Structure formats: structure tokens, C-alpha cells
Homo-oligomer: A and B are copies of this chain.
Amino acid sequence: MTDRSSAAGKPIRTAITDEDGIDFAIIELFFFAYRDFTSDPDQILADYGFGRAHHRVLHFVNRRPGLTVAELLDVLKITKQSLARVLKQLIDTDHIVQVQGLRDRRQRELYPTAKGRALALALARPQSRRIRAALEDSGTAERASIERFLEAMVNPELRAQINIVPAQTSGKKNGDH
């Protein structure tokens, strides 16, 4: 082993570059940035026996309280089975509750509990800190550019999902309780 076995291709000793108009610089930066971006919450999650999947579910249930299982599947782009285990654990551990839909009683609306809200915040905190620090490094004025860039990286058809976000009008969407 270890040597060029006769049949194998010859080693190319020159590095790939941005020659062909391929933007390796940003490709690589994106990889490193995302890796470290997820590393903070990953450590917290480990204490709960949770993984990254739990985080995503928790995040979106907190962001869009009352979304249904089908909507969640659509946002996460995973299958029912993949979600099932993770969601079950979050429900069993009292981070999320299901409420029967009013309009359609087949639907399960998902809501965070106080516990689930707290965990979501705890997980987001280090990420937000990292973002703030990065923005400061590059000048606060750049924030809009970054947002535009990231949004433009998303598939156009799917960009709708992003804007479903709760418009944060302090929303008394329903004044009941």
C-alpha cells in the first residue's frame, strides 16, 4: 500500500484554484463557518441527549408556534419517519406539546412549552453572539448585505418559507387563554 499502484491515475500535485471561475474561497469559508456555527449548540444539546435534529425542530416550533407536522416536514425537508423519533422525544421530555387543530381536528398543532422556549433560547444565544461578533468585525453596516446574500443563496422556490416568519408584531394573534 501507500504507493502508486500501477493501474491508478497519477497524482496531481498542483492545487485546484479559482481558475475555472469556481469560487473555492467562499465555498470553503461557508463550510468552516457553518461547522463552527453549529458547534456551540451541539455541545449544549449533548447534555440533554439531543442532537442537531432536535434543535431544528425546537427552533421552528418556537418561531412558528402552532405549525402542523406537515408544515414542519416541509420546512425541514425531511421525511415523516425522520421527524417522528425526534419529535416524540421532545414531546416526552415536555419541551413541545401537541394541540388538536380547531379547524381540522386531524392536525396536530405544535407549540413550545416554557421549558421548550427556554431551551430554544439557550441554544440560540451562542449562535447569536457569534453572529454579532462577526458583524462587528465586518462593520455593522454590512448586516443588510449579509442578509441579502444568505437569502439569495436559498432556492427561489423555497424562499417563501423564510418570509412566513412571525413578522414579530408583538402578536396577539389570538387574545384568548
Question: In this assembly, does A80 line the interface, its C-beta being within 8 Å of a C-beta of chain B?
Answer: no
Identify which of A25, A28, A34, A56 gathers the most chain B CB atoms within 10 Å of its CB: A25
Partner of A99, one of B3, B26, B152: B3
Question: In this assembly, does A86 line the interface, its C-beta being within 8 Å of a C-beta of chain B?
Answer: no
Give every chain B residue within 8 A of A32 (Cβ-Cβ).
150, 153-154, 158, 161-162
A8 in contact with B145 given A63-B15, A170-B25 (CB within 8 Å): no
Q: Check A171 against B15 for contact (C-beta < 8 Å).
A: yes
Q: Check B25 against A165 for contact (C-beta < 8 Å).
A: yes
Question: In this assembly, does A48 line the interface, its C-beta being within 8 Å of a C-beta of chain B?
Answer: no
Q: Check B2 against A98 for contact (C-beta < 8 Å).
A: yes
Q: Check B128 against A158 for contact (C-beta < 8 Å).
A: no
Within the oligomer, what is the number of copies of this chain? 2
Q: Check B23 against A131 for contact (C-beta < 8 Å).
A: yes
Query: Range of interface residues on chain A?
Result: 35 or more
Identify which of A7, A32, A148 gathers the most chain B CB atoms within 10 Å of its CB: A32
Proximity bits, A79-113, B CB within 8 Å = 1, else 0: 00000000000000010011110000000100111
Partner of A31, one of B56, B121, B146: B56
Cα A170 to Cα B97 with chains together (Å): 49
Question: In this assembly, does A71 line the interface, its C-beta being within 8 Å of a C-beta of chain B?
Answer: no
Question: In this assembly, does A22 line the interface, its C-beta being within 8 Å of a C-beta of chain B?
Answer: yes
Q: How far apart are A159's CB and chain B's nearest CB, in angstroms?
A: 8
Q: Check B28 against A59 for contact (C-beta < 8 Å).
A: yes
Q: How far apart are A82's CB and chain B's nearest CB, in angstroms?
A: 14
Question: In this assembly, does A29 line the interface, its C-beta being within 8 Å of a C-beta of chain B?
Answer: yes
Question: In this assembly, does A20 line the interface, its C-beta being within 8 Å of a C-beta of chain B?
Answer: yes
Give every chain B residue within 8 A of A7 (Cβ-Cβ).
94
